[in-house]
């Protein structure tokens, strides 16, 4: 639609310019005469344009009508369409749909898993910064050691409050600022919750990085580390592999694993039972370490679960349980870069 407007705009500019040159050339000494003539001419031009448009539409409609009337009256089949409607078509018209693998991954990657609404609960009392979640994530998504889809941060809110380790994946907001600002629909919110990014669409403007308050997004500043090995792979938007130079990449809630009915990479890799992952629709979450399943709403209620910076209105899908009665003593990491 936008492109159509652009064309019309460009055509209008050219048209006006040509008209301008033509008028400049006229040796017209009577301004009143010029005005009258140009109005008449304008009306005539508009008439021509409108007439052309009507004629074009009529021809297209007639063509469509003719195409429809050609259908043979032979054997007919009742079929279920992709959106669940019962339809009838002539048997001779039934063809097997062949979608290339890449296209298929793109289509289903944008659709999401119907009926689900994924959530994550992170128990801060259990995290001791083992960083297994990070390793598993980086291995799955072919990232460099300094590139994080998920990171654990050392947080100390103020002088008198206790420090703790805070695993921080993308918050998969229900009101994601990153999606609002994307100019090309490269990053999008899926019906089942995750915010994904399509590296074949991303233009690399990094507006989403600027807009994200959780610093959840990273960029491929150079050729990705496994570019050579991944050359023969088909791009999977649910995995962001192969990673692509000059585009943004981010935590995907392991959408590829969810499709297989498995828990996300980070959740399964945690040795300390930090992560709960599940479906808000079913009100159930499963612990990645113990595989224990519990009621999502009850877990939050019993432990005073909260979200990160809810005052920003982003409505995160990741919840935190406060670091009360920490299982591990807090060890300050020495030699690491810190700021904030």
Partner 1 sequence: MQRQDDQIISDLFRPVRLNKAHLIWLGILMVCLAFCLYAYSIQLRKGLGVAGIRDFISWGMYIANFVFFVASSLIGMLISAVLGLIGIRWVKPLTRIAEIISLAFASVAGLVIISDMGRPERLTYLLFYGRLQSPILWDVTVVVTYVLISALLLYLPLIPDLAIGKKALTKPTWLKTLYGILSVRWKGTPAQFLIIHRSIRILLILIIPVALAIHTVTSWLFAVTSRAGWNSTIFGPYFVSGAFVAGIAGVIIAMYFFRKNYKLEKYLTEKHFDHMAKLLVLVSLVYLYFNINEFLIPGYKLERGDTIHLQDIFTGHNAGYFWFAQLFGIIIPVILLLFKPMRRPFPMLILAILVFLASWIKRYIIVVPTQEHPFLPIQHVPANFLVYKPTLIEAGITAASFVLVLLIITVLSKLFPVIPVLEMQEEAGLKPAGNQS
| 39 CB-side CA count, 13 A | 5
26 binds partner 1 (CB under 8 A): yes
Convert residues 141-180 into a mask of x (bound to partner 1 by CB under 8 A) and - (unbound). -----xxx--xxxxx------------x--------x--x
Stretch that binds partner 1, among 20-28, 68-76, 77-85, 296-304 (CB under 8 A): 20-28
214 lies in the site for partner 1, by CB under 8 A? yes
How many amino acids of this chain bind partner 1 (CB under 8 A)? 64
CB of 181 to partner 1, least distance (A): 5
Which residue from 110, 128, 132, 245 is in contact with partner 1, where contact means CB under 8 A? 245
With CA atoms as reference, report the closest residue to 193 among 82, 318, 319. 318
Phi, psi dihedral angles at 89 (to 5 degrees): -135, 155
42 binds partner 1 (CB under 8 A): no
Binder of partner 1 out of 27, 83, 88, 228 (CB under 8 A): 27
Which of 303, 312, 326, 328 is the binder for partner 1 (CB under 8 A)? 312
C-beta of 210 vs 304, nearer to partner 1: 210
Q: Radius of gyration of the chain from Cα atoms?
A: 29
| 8 Å CB contact between 135 and 151 | no
Distance CA 264, CA 317 (A): 14
- SS3 call for 317: coil
- Token duo for residue 138: 């980086």
d(CA 99, CA 155): 48
Cβ at position 191, least distance to partner 1 in Å: 18
**3 part of the interface to partner 1, by CB under 8 A:** yes
* Exposed e or buried b per residue across 26-56, where buried means at least 16 C-beta atoms within 10 angstroms of its C-beta: eeeeeeeeeeeeeeeeeeeeeeeeeeeeeee
Q: Which residues contact 269 (CB under 8 A, 6 or more apart)?
A: 132, 133, 135, 136, 137, 288
Q: Which of 125, 130, 205, 284 binds partner 1 (CB under 8 A)?
A: 205
Token pair 């990153």 is found at 178
Query: Where do contacts with partner 1 occur on this chain (CB under 8 A)?
Result: 2-3, 6, 13, 20-21, 23-31, 34, 146-148, 151-155, 168, 177, 180-186, 201-207, 209-211, 213-215, 217-223, 245-248, 309, 312, 336-340
């Amino acid at each position: 639609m936008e492109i159509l407007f652009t064309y019309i705009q460009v055509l209008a500019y050219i048209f006006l310019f040509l008209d301008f040159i033509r008028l400049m050339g006229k040796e017209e000494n009577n301004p009143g005469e010029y005005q009258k003539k140009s109005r008449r001419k304008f009306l005539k031009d508009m008439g021509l344009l409108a007439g052309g448009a009507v004629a074009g539409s009529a021809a297209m409609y007639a063509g469509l009508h003719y195409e429809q009337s050609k259908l043979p009256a032979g054997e007919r089949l009742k079929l279920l369409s992709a959106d669940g409607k019962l339809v009838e078509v002539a048997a001779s018209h039934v063809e097997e749909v062949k979608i290339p693998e890449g296209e298929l991954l793109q289509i289903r990657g944008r659709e999401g898993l119907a009926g689900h609404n994924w959530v994550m609960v992170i128990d801060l009392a259990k995290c001791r910064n083992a960083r297994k979640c990070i390793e598993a994530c980086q291995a799955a998504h072919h990232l460099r050691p300094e590139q994080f889809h998920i990171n654990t941060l050392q947080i100390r809110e103020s002088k008198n409050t206790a420090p703790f380790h805070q695993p921080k994946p993308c918050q998969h907001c229900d009101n994601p600022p990153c999606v609002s600002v994307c100019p090309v629909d490269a990053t999008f919110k899926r019906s089942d919750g995750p915010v994904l990014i399509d590296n074949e669409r991303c233009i690399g403007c990094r507006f989403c990085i600027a807009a994200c308050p959780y610093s959840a997004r990273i960029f491929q500043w150079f050729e990705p580390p496994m570019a050579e090995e991944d050359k023969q792979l088909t791009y999977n938007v649910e995995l962001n592999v192969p990673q692509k130079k000059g585009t943004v990449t981010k935590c995907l809630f392991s959408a590829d694993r969810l499709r297989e009915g498995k828990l996300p990479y980070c959740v399964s890799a945690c040795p300390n039972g930090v992560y709960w992952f599940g479906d808000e629709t079913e009100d159930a979450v499963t612990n990645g370490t113990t595989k224990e399943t519990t009621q999502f709403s009850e877990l939050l209620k019993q432990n005073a679960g909260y979200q990160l910076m809810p005052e920003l209105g982003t409505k995160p899908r990741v919840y935190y349980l406060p670091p009360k009665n920490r299982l591990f003593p807090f060890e300050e990491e020495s030699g690491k870069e810190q700021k904030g």
